[in-house]
Amino acid sequence: MTDNTYSGTLKFKDVDFVFVFDGSELVLIPPKERKNDIMWGWLKKEICPGVYTSGDPLTVDVPYLDGFCNETSKRLIFLTREESTVGSRNSTLYINVAGYLECSPNTNGFCRMTLSGRALNYIHPVNRAFSQVFDSDDLTEKGIISIRTNGFDRTSTVKRAFRFEGRDIAAYFSVGWTCSMKISTPPITLNSSMIFEFDETDDYWFFYRLWHAAEDFLQLLQPLGVRVAPFWLQLPASFGPQRLAELVSFIDALQRPLAVEVRHPEFFARGDAERLLNRLLMDRGVERICLDPRALFSCTSTDPAVLHAQSKKPKVPPRPAAFTQFPQVRFIGRPELEANDPYLLPWIEKVAGWIEEGRTPYVFLHTPDNHRAPELARRFHQQLSERLPGLPALPELHPPQSREQLGLL
pLDDT digits (tens, 9 = 90+) for 26-65: 999 999 999 999 999 898 888 888 778 888 889 998 889 9
pLDDT digits (tens, 9 = 90+) for 136-174: 565 566 666 666 666 656 678 888 899 999 999 999 888
Pick the more confident residue, 384 or 194.
384
Both 187 and 258 in one domain: the answer is no
Both 188 and 136 in one domain: the answer is yes
Both 157 and 245 in one domain: the answer is no
> Is residue 23 one of the residues assigned to a domain?
yes
Both 377 and 235 in one domain: the answer is yes
- Residue 288's nearest CA partner among 350, 245, 248, 330 is 330
Domain end position, chosen among 59, 85, 103: 103
Q: Where does residue 398 fall: left (phi above 0), alpha (psi -120 to 50 degrees), or beta otherwise?
A: beta
Domain end position, chosen among 203, 225, 247: 225
Both 286 and 158 in one domain: the answer is no
Domain end position, chosen among 103, 138, 159: 103
Both 254 and 360 in one domain: the answer is yes
- CA separation for the pair 267, 255 (Å, rounded): 23
Pick the more confident residue, 394 or 344.
344
Pick the more confident residue, 115 or 93.
93
Residue 345 has pLDDT above 80, yes or no: yes
Both 268 and 144 in one domain: the answer is no
| pLDDT at residue number 140 | 60
Q: How confident is the model at residue 347 (pLDDT cuts 50, 70, 90)?
A: very high
| pLDDT at residue number 191 | 81
Both 216 and 284 in one domain: the answer is no
- Cα distance between the two ends of the chain: 46
- CA separation for the pair 72, 100 (Å, rounded): 14
318 phi/psi in degrees, rounded to 5: -70, 145
Which CATH number characterizes residue 282's domain? 3.20.20.410
Q: Where does residue 13 fall: left (phi above 0), alpha (psi -120 to 50 degrees), or beta otherwise?
A: left
| pLDDT at residue number 401 | 52
Both 98 and 138 in one domain: the answer is no
- CA separation for the pair 126, 118 (Å, rounded): 11
Q: How many domains does the chain have?
A: 3
| CA diameter of the chain | 103
Both 166 and 62 in one domain: the answer is no
- CA separation for the pair 8, 67 (Å, rounded): 7
Cα torsion angle, 240, 244, 245, 251, sign: positive
Question: Residue 208 has what DSSP assignment?
Answer: H
> Is residue 281 one of the residues assigned to a domain?
yes
Which residues in 97-123 are b (16+ Cβ under 10 Å) and which e? bebbbeeeeeeeebeebebebebbbbb
| pLDDT at residue number 333 | 96
| Structural domain span for residue 141 | 110-225
Both 293 and 376 in one domain: the answer is yes
- CA separation for the pair 249, 255 (Å, rounded): 10
Both 67 and 85 in one domain: the answer is yes
Mean pLDDT (whole number) for 216-223? 72
> Is residue 347 one of the residues assigned to a domain?
yes
Where helices occur in 233-339 by DSSP H, the ranges are: 244-254, 272-283, 294-297, 304-312
